[in-house]
Structure 1
Amino acid sequence: MTKILAISSVAILLLASLFFWQRDKHPAEMPAASSKKILYWYDPMHPEQHFDKPGKSPYMDMDLLPRIAGEKMQGEGIRISPAVVQNLGVRVAKVERIPLSTEIDASGLIGFDEREVAILQARAGGFVEKVSGLAPGDIIAKGDAIATLSIPEWTAAENEFLAAQADPSLKEAARERMRLAGIPANDRREIERSNQAFSSFTLRSPLSGVIQSLEIRQGMNISAGQTLVRINGLSRVWLDAAVPQSRSNEVHEGDRVSARIFSGETVEGKVEAVLPVMSEASRTVKVRISLPNPDLKLRPGASAQVRIGHSARKTALAVPSEAIISTGKRTLVMVSRGGGRFVPVEVNAGEEIGDRTVILSGLHENQEIASSGQFLIDSEASLAGVMAHGHPAKEMKP
């Protein structure tokens, strides 16, 4: 047993000696990370930017990488010769910040402006002596006669006023009684001017519009508070547009509106209100638009095609839509690094505005991208094994 232990000890000593002899003989084969010189730190998405110390990238939520002397940087992409670039017809464009001025197309129905309405009621009991030749749906002008009414209470107040002419205090009290009885101001002035009472009174329209309801007929009795006529004005109308719920937050009060009506004409107006209730059936939000109607061409009940556009309240980064490469799983653009070098970069794309596509993340302002020939560059990058950068960066603020 003692002999076996001795032999084992000798073997271990021999192996240890061999290890240290090999290490001293080939020192260059051992790792020597500490001897490598770090030139600077960089973001692989933006290798042109150099930093003198490690940390987080100002462009992306990732750590900066060291640029080691003699090593190739990550993110250099694929390089294409100027002749190939010319043959492919590659053009570059800058990532620009544009105003978010969008337009929404919707359909709507024209209706009455419910703020321009007159409801005429009887202020005292009486009866209808005469009704003008009117009916619901008729157009009526401001001041037109609607009916002639006989109201005994008003006649009594008039006679009391005329009898009190000699006494100033009584006269003033009688004048106030006529006002409280509901006699119109024009009739009160006419009584004072002519110094005589009227046995009947003319009911007149207070505004121009269309008669919605006419609840009086010749010879019928009326009571205080009874609704006699309802008139809707037509100088302005409402256009209620149905905006999809997905875009309802883009519409604001005061936004400009262009409405194409049934006659083919276009009328300009503005959004008056975005109503708070959503239609359960169509999943749309009603947007109320106020339109001028001086020629009465806008008819309540008619349909119209609406285009809503709002002035720019925000800006966003955008690229030409033709620069976008959509694979079905992700969206790429080819970022130019200069000297014919391109890097595929994954981006989050937003809505299209004209011929531009909004970029939500992945790029920053003034970067150059391939706006044509990018599909061929992408093919070259795939053949060369160049991978697109993932984890799109948050949009850089100007």
Structure 2
Amino acid sequence: MSRLQRSVVAVAVALAIGGAFYLGRTTAGGGDAAGANAPVQAASTGERRVLYWHDPMNPGPRFDKPGKSPFMDMQLQPVYADESSETGVKVSSQVQQNLGIRTAVVRRADVSMSFDAVGTVQFDERLNVAVQTRTSGYLERLHVRAPMERVIKGQALATVFAPEWLGPLNDIVALKRSGASADLVSAAKERTRAMSIPAELVRQAEAGGAPQARYTLVAPANGVVAELGVREGVAVSPGMTLFRIAGLEKVWAVVEVPEAQAVRLARGQKVAAALQADPARTFTGTLQDILPQVNPSTRTLQARFEVDNKGGRLIPGMLLRLQVAGATASRLVVPAEAVIRTGTRAVAIVRQGNGAFEPREVKLGADLGEQLEVTGGLAEGDEVVTSGQFLVDSEARLRSVLGSMAAAQPASAPASAATASVTYSAQGRVDGVDADSLTLSHGPIAELKWPAMTMPFNKPSPTAFADVKVGDVVRFEFRKKGEAYELVSVHRAGAAK
């Protein structure tokens, strides 16, 4: 090659090197600009924002950057802004289905403050009638011979002989026969009225008939003979009660009412009653009175209801089931199963609009059976969890976002039997064998939302799994016990190499 040709080649090589150098500079500069703008572009495209990093096995501590967990042999996991809330926890729809979570809507309902009670039928003592004699004599004949016999108005009860009546009646007969003046006859009749001689016997004497000192006592009202105080042949005296007749057109139903329910009662309240032995037989009644006395042993008051008994089907001693109607009012109610009672307060778990769950302390009013009245803490339309509250709480504790639930249940409370019985299975490799634990490297566990990691598991006893060695590939089952995880079974899938 000539000298001129060598010079041309050298110039071409120099130009090529210079162009390559300039192109590299330009390309590098463009890449830096793109890298600088990457966060802005990520933000503009709506990428998820990380709030902090944490260890799922110990979710309390928070870290401001990723890295290896100081507690377990695993990487820290991010918590995103759209997954976390200071007052609630989001649970995926799949997890909600697995947990069996059911909800109900807080609503207003027209509730009647009625309640059921059992009462005992008793005689209405206002209908009692006493049958007496106002003269001395003898009971010649008894027509009603046993207590509790039914009688009707005008029915003969007994025949009484009164010797003291013969004198006044004979005087009237003599005066009429002798043609005495009307004044004398009238005075004699006044004497018979003072001695309570029946008017019928006086009329017989005036008509000139033979004086009669016997008369029949009749029932003054319908009812039953509640008291029979005499027998045939006994002497009777003025003011002596021979019979006591109890009416049955109305009866009392006496109910023992707890103090808490007695405040809802008012005189005049209507009641529907049915026989305890035959609910098809119904009656109506009215609250007559609340006796002003509290039973110190049962802390109850007696309420007296008047019940219609025109057919006489109710008999003292029968049991009646009464439904006492109360005033109807609009009240805010929730299902009773939605409220967790801790003894000092009541808590409900509310589903928020963004799908998260949060606990709320509620104030309760009246117990309405399957529903409870809410006087504070909830609003109409709120959606509350009715089934799976404790599982939602477990999910919340795992993610450390429902710390307020810890106040509702003491930390020292034992785990429920249902939670303790749940077991999980996984496959892994034995990395360490100690007297009381095995260190295992396992893959992800979807049920607990665990990634692949290495962690220790407690043995149920120091002699358990004695044939397991470091390096073995095993299939194992475990469960949560306290704050740690305990192995249930370990089966070798491959020997140590």
Which of 339, 344, 357 is the equivalent residue of 1:324?
A: 339
Aligned to 2:160: 149
Instruction: Quote the Cα distance in structure 1 between the aligned partners of 2:387 and 2:147.
Output: 67
Counterpart in the other structure of 2:15? none
Cross-structure match for 2:248? 234
Q: Tell me if 1:277 matches 2:277.
A: no
> How much does 1:152 deviate?
4.4
Partner residue of 2:325?
310
Question: Deviations 1:130-172 (Å, cap 9, x if unpaired)?
Answer: 3225222322222111222233454555566674798666666
CA contact (8 A) 1:128 1:218 kept: yes
Q: 1:120 is matched with which residue: 124, 127, 131?
A: 131
What are the Cα deviations for residues 29-62 of structure 1, in whole angstroms up to 9, with x where unaligned?
xxxxxxxxxxxxxxxxxxxxxxxxxxxxxxxxxx
User: Do 2:101 and 2:388's aligned partners in 1 also have CA atoms closer than 8 Å?
Assistant: no
Aligned to 2:87: 77
Structure 1 residue 92 displacement after superposition: 4.3
> TM-score under structure 1 normalisation?
0.63
**More off after superposition, 345-354 vs 175-184:** 175-184
Distance 1:318 1:182 in 2: 69
Q: Aligned partners of 1:274 and 1:243: how far apart in 2? A: 9
From the superposition, tell whether residues 82 and 288 of structure 1 become closer, same or farther in structure 2 (CA, over 3 Å). Answer: same
Residue correspondences, number: 313
Percentage identity across aligned positions? 28
Deviations 1:321-369 (A, max 9, x none): 23223355532123454343543210123443243111243234x2412
What value does the CA root-mean-square deviation take over the aligned residues?
4.0
1:348 matched to 2:360? The reply is: no
Question: Would the alpha carbon gap of residues 181 and 230 (structure 1) be closer, same or farther in structure 2, given more than 3 Å must change?
Answer: same
Q: Which residue of 1 aligns with 2:149?
A: 138
Q: For residues 26-41 of structure 1, what are the structure 2 equivalents within 5 Å?
A: none
Segments of structure 1 that go 5 or more residues without pairing to the other structure are 1-74, 391-398
* Residues 1:292 and 2:308 aligned together: yes
Matches of 2:396 and 2:208 in 1, distance apart?
Answer: 101
**Aligned pair in 2 of structure 1 residues 120, 330: CA closer, same or farther (>3 Å)?**
same
Q: Aligned pair 1:182/2:196, yes or no?
A: yes
CA contact (8 A) 2:223 2:248 kept: yes
Q: What's the counterpart of residue 446 of structure 2?
A: none
What SS does the corresponding residue of 2:126 show, helix, strand or coil?
coil
**Contact persistence 1:127–1:220 (CA under 8 A):** yes
1:358 is matched with 373
Letter in 1 for 2:106: K
> Could you list the runs of 5+ residues in structure 2 that have no partner in the other structure?
1-84, 407-497
Alpha carbons of structure 1 residues 356 and 217: separation in structure 2 relative to 1, 3 Å: closer
Which deviates more from structure 2 when the two are superposed, residues 250-259 or residues 221-230?
250-259
- Cα distance change, pair 194–381 in 1 and its aligned pair in 2 (3 A): farther
Provide the C-alpha distance between the structure 2 equivalents of 1:222 and 1:328, rounded to a whole number of angstroms.
68
1:102 pairs with 2:111: no
1:311 to partner: Cα distance: 2.1
Assess, with a 3 A threshold, how the Cα gap between structure 1 residues 369 and 140 changes in structure 2: closer, same or farther: same
Distance 2:167 2:161 in 1: 12
Give matches, 1:186-265, under 5 Å: 187=200, 191=204, 196=209, 198-253=212-267, 254-262=269-277
* Higher RCO (C-alpha under 8 Å, 6+ residues apart): 1
C-alpha contact 1:95 1:319 (8 A) present in aligned 2: yes
Q: Output the CA distance in 1 between the equivalents of 2:357 and 2:221.
A: 70
Do 1:331 and 1:347's aligned partners in 2 also have CA atoms closer than 8 Å? yes
For residues 388 and 192 of structure 1, the distance between their equivalents in structure 2, rounded to whole angstroms, comes to: 99
Change (3 A) 1:79 1:350: same
